[in-house]
Amino acid sequence: MIHFDKIVPTTAQTAVALGCFDGIHLAHRKVIDEVLKCRAEGLVPSMFTFADYANKGVSKRIYTQQEKLNELEALGIELVYCVPFPEVCLMSASVFVTDVLRDSLNAKKVFCGFNYKFGRGGTSDVSVLKYLCEKEGIEVVVVDEIQLDGVTVSSSEIRRLLDEGDIATASKMLNKPFALFGEVVHGNALGRKMGIPTINVGTDATKLLPKYGVYGAVVYIDGDPTPLKAALNIGMRPTVGGEEPTVEAFIIDECGDFYGKHVKVELVEYIREEKKFATLQDLQYAIESDIEAIRKVLA
């Protein structure tokens, strides 16, 4: 896959997916599937998206930029323009179509969701896109909304679900488990002192963390496909006076030195809210109870 972080011309004739694509959820995948079909017409499956979501008022992402690029490559997108939003935010709708889609991306077909907005201030919709593209000989395909149990699938809905700890529904909309990625870093070793050693996962600062609390999770170490059951805590660790949110996992029935290794943590089920305990012993008892509950969840 070729990735550009700025707008530069390509000589290839392209079919282009338009949008932010945070999370690459079920609706996004429908757009991407339609783009991929254009390979049979000699068009290069491509995407024009953003490196930041300032236009959405979003500071934390369902997928980090690298996660998104990895997923797009795995799906078969061959050419990705992932540009800073300020590079296009002041463009009028007509300039975007002529200068970006026609002249730079050499687009012959473009694909987007039913609620796609573009142009200065995001004031132009799919009807404007169709009108402007028709004048340039570019076909526009608008993909209808996708619903799950009567709810429209969207990145904002997935963020809401994660904020509520509804991991199961969020993962269904994503079409894969919601996961956190990072390197195992050193913590304060408090869990080890309690006989419950945890790994501290250093996640990307742009990554959206779900509702604070305890989760049943599955951990993969350094790309090893073996799933390891884990009790995961996300939050401020109020019992010990944490100042920044942490991601800590106790790997059940497994021990070892994981420092410096890269892990993927797939969240399975929300167990309970984060709570401040009166003593460390009370915290230890609670964690032991959590582990037993998680064993049943992950059985």
Instruction: Specify the CATH number for the domain of residue 112.
Output: 3.40.50.620
Q: Minimal CA–CA distance to 80: which of 10, 144, 175? A: 10
Same structural domain, 89 and 221: no
Angle, CA 61 vertex, CA 55 and CA 64 arms, to 5°: 115
Same structural domain, 181 and 133: no
User: Could you tell me if residue 51 is inside a domain?
Assistant: yes
The CATH number of the domain holding residue 248 is 2.40.30.30
User: Could you tell me if residue 159 is inside a domain?
Assistant: no
CA–CA separation, 65 and 100 (whole Å): 21
C-beta separation of 247 from 209 below 8 A:
yes
Same structural domain, 106 and 184: no
User: Could you tell me if residue 163 is inside a domain?
Assistant: no
> What are the structure tokens assigned to 50, written together?
């953003």
Give mean pLDDT, residues 258-271: 97
C-beta separation of 230 from 265 below 8 A:
yes
Residues 19-35: tens digit of each pLDDT:
999 999 999 999 999 99
User: Could you tell me if residue 167 is inside a domain?
Assistant: no
Same structural domain, 197 and 116: no
65-75 helix and 26-37 helix, angle to the nearest 10 degrees? 40
Same structural domain, 185 and 143: no
Give mean pLDDT, residues 84-106: 96
User: Could you tell me if residue 32 is inside a domain?
Assistant: yes
Same structural domain, 63 and 202: no
User: Could you tell me if residue 160 is inside a domain?
Assistant: no
CA–CA separation, 143 and 109 (whole Å): 13
Same structural domain, 192 and 257: yes
Same structural domain, 141 and 238: no
Same structural domain, 217 and 277: yes
User: Could you tell me if residue 284 is inside a domain?
Assistant: yes
Residues 115-171: tens digit of each pLDDT:
999 999 999 999 999 999 999 999 999 999 999 999 999 999 999 999 999 999 999
Same structural domain, 271 and 190: yes
Residue 3 CB coordination number (10 Å): 14
The residue among 188 and 33 whose pLDDT is bigger is 33
Which of 133, 150, 167 corresponds to the end of one domain? Answer: 150
Same structural domain, 135 and 64: yes
Quote the pLDDT of residue 193.
Answer: 67
| 235 torsion bin: left (phi>0), alpha (psi -120 to 50), beta (else) | left
CA–CA separation, 101 and 15 (whole Å): 10
Number of folded domains in the chain? Answer: 2
DSSP state of 207: B
DSSP state of 43: P
Give mean pLDDT, residues 279-285: 92
User: Could you tell me if residue 266 is inside a domain?
Assistant: yes
Q: Domain of 293?
A: 177-297
The verdict on pTM exceeding 0.85 is: yes
The residue among 116 and 57 whose pLDDT is bigger is 116
Same structural domain, 21 and 133: yes
CA–CA separation, 47 and 42 (whole Å): 16
